[in-house]
Amino acid sequence: MMKWLVVLSALVAFSECLHRMPLIKGKSAREYLEERGTWEQVRQQFPYRPMAKFYQTGTESMTNDADMAYYGVISIGTPPQSFMVVFDTGSSNLWVPSVSCNSQACQNHHKFNPQQSSSFVSNGEALSIYYGTGSMTGILGSDTVEVGGISVANQVFGLSRTEAQFMAYMKADGILGLAFQSLASDNVVPVFDNMVSQGLLSQPMFSVHLSGNSEQGSEVVFGGIDPSHFTGQITWIPLTSATYWQIKMDSVTINGQTVACSGGCQAIIDTGTSLIVGPTSDISNMNSWVGASTNQYGEATVNCQNIQTMPEVTFTLNGHAFTVPASAYVSQSSYGCRTGFGQGGSQQLWILGDVFIREYYAVFDTQNQMVGLAQSV
């Protein structure tokens, strides 16, 4: 994003010069260009935006944990205490472990110490959040939170006192939710909403690039997009609900045949879920169509030698087709090959998780309540 800021600064500087710099015999740049009939053309190409130098975007690098989770480092407090958090578009609260937590999950993670932050304010309100893999309980407090170089004042967040056993195996310390406030426990204002309301961003949007094959390079950009991570045009899809990042899915097809979501359904774009998750019957049908068999653990396995000949799966979202090849929906490990289609979703709501987002750069626009998708590179 730095190169775009440099270009923007140059344009602003040039525009300011057009307003101020004398050229010939006391004439301003504007007068000089108006005499030649080119002022309007130049003005449109280099619009005058005196506040642009105060706008910013924040780029947060994320670590790819075996294509299963993506997390980055934030800081909380004065002086700052650092934590690794999952950036989760499927939830809305920020929370980290606290020194008051005695659960096993807290013992191998960084813990926030309120007494070591001069800017911490406790409100003592209880917090309880449930996820697909476990839950946490704790209390709320507020402090300065820094994400991607952006400092958010008076951010309310959770300090865990208990955490589910599963979270002991998470590499990340906590979770930073990026869904809407309507979904937040205790109606806490999410971090991104505060970035917008505090005037910290150039645009009320953020975007996500997820790398594949455990490679680095994943990032979330607050306040804009990074064109280096996608090719072609961004397709904009309106939200059907401003809770999750929820959109209309028309169908799931393989070789031109509808294999799931017949008649339409709802789906959410969720960075906090590893797989593409849907109703049991639909997922079973999809796995059958791609030649997978379900093992004793409920995992859909395929012969690794067949990946090159397995069909693409197309997800049609609000009339736009997004295709995911077998190389993207099949994961390979020393234990074999498994599809990235998971059972457990409801008939009403699918989850398009990391398997999908790795293929499509995702832009989340709060002002217009849309999701933008473009082919990742």
Closest CA to 70 of 364, 355, 337: 355
Which tens digits make up the pLDDT trace of 113-158? 999 999 999 998 999 999 877 899 999 999 999 999 999 999 999 9
Residue span of the structural domain in which 111 resides: 58-209
Lookup result for tokens 């909403």: 193
**Are 204 and 334 in the same domain?**
no
Q: How many CB atoms lie within 10 A of CB 205?
A: 22
Q: Is it the case that residue 29 has pLDDT exceeding 80?
A: no
Which tens digits make up the pLDDT trace of 191-231? 999 999 999 999 999 999 999 998 999 999 999 999 999 99
Which tens digits make up the pLDDT trace of 51-82? 333 446 799 999 999 999 999 999 999 999 99
Q: Is it the case that residue 15 has pLDDT exceeding 70?
A: no
Q: What is the enclosing helix (H) or strand (E) of 9?
A: helix 2-20
Spatial contact of 204 and 196, defined as CB atoms under 8 Å apart: yes
Q: What is the enclosing helix (H) or strand (E) of 144?
A: strand 134-147
pLDDT of residue 294: 86
Spatial contact of 254 and 325, defined as CB atoms under 8 Å apart: no
Percent of the chain residues topping a pLDDT of 90: 78
**Are 179 and 244 in the same domain?**
no
Closest CA to 251 of 321, 199, 186, 163: 321
Whether 217 maps to a domain, the answer reads no
User: In angstroms, what CA-CA distances link 289 with 176, 184, 266, 305?
Assistant: 36, 38, 22, 17
Which tens digits make up the pLDDT trace of 161-191? 999 998 999 999 999 999 999 999 999 999 9
**Are 45 and 126 in the same domain?**
no
**Are 65 and 203 in the same domain?**
yes
**Are 336 and 367 in the same domain?**
yes
Long-range contacts of 59-62 (CB under 8 A, 24+ apart): 59/1, 59/148, 59/149, 59/219, 59/220, 59/221, 59/222, 59/226, 60/87, 60/147, 60/148, 60/219, 60/220, 60/221, 60/222, 61/216, 61/218, 61/219, 62/87, 62/210, 62/218, 62/219, 62/220
What one-character-per-residue DSSP string does 291-328 give? T-EE-TTS-EEE-GGGGGGSPPEEEEETTEEEEE-HHH
Bridge partner list, 4: none
Whether 218 maps to a domain, the answer reads no
CA 327, chain centre distance (Å): 22
Instruction: Classify 336 in phi/psi space as left (phi over 0), alpha (psi -120 to 50) or beta.
Output: left
Whether 158 maps to a domain, the answer reads yes
Give the separation between CA 274 and CA 66, rounded to whole angstroms.
Answer: 10
Bridge partner list, 246: 241, 268
Whether 215 maps to a domain, the answer reads no
Percent of the chain residues topping a pLDDT of 70: 84
**Are 78 and 156 in the same domain?**
yes
pLDDT of residue 257: 97
Sign of CA dihedral 175, 123, 128, 369: negative
**Are 46 and 157 in the same domain?**
no
Give the separation between CA 179 and CA 187, rounded to whole angstroms.
Answer: 12
**Are 180 and 259 in the same domain?**
no
Give the residue numbers marked as catalytic. 88, 270
Q: What is the CATH number of the domain that holds 245?
A: 2.40.70.10
**Are 195 and 250 in the same domain?**
no
Whether 44 maps to a domain, the answer reads yes
Which tens digits make up the pLDDT trace of 291-300? 999 887 778 9
**Are 188 and 139 in the same domain?**
yes
Which tens digits make up the pLDDT trace of 276-287? 999 999 999 999
Q: How many domains does the chain have?
A: 3
Which tens digits make up the pLDDT trace of 316-350? 999 999 999 999 999 998 889 999 999 876 667 99
Whether 367 maps to a domain, the answer reads yes
What band does 33 get if pLDDT is binned at 50, 70 and 90? low
pLDDT of residue 205: 98
Q: Model's pTM, two decimal places?
A: 0.84
Angle at 124 between CA 121 and CA 125, to 5 degrees: 120
**Are 234 and 94 in the same domain?**
no
**Are 65 and 204 in the same domain?**
yes
Whether 108 maps to a domain, the answer reads yes
Of 179, 209, 239, the position where a domain reaches its end is: 209
Whether 101 maps to a domain, the answer reads yes
When the pLDDT of each residue in the chain is averaged and rounded to a whole number, the result is 88
Q: Is it the case that residue 265 has pLDDT exceeding 50?
A: yes
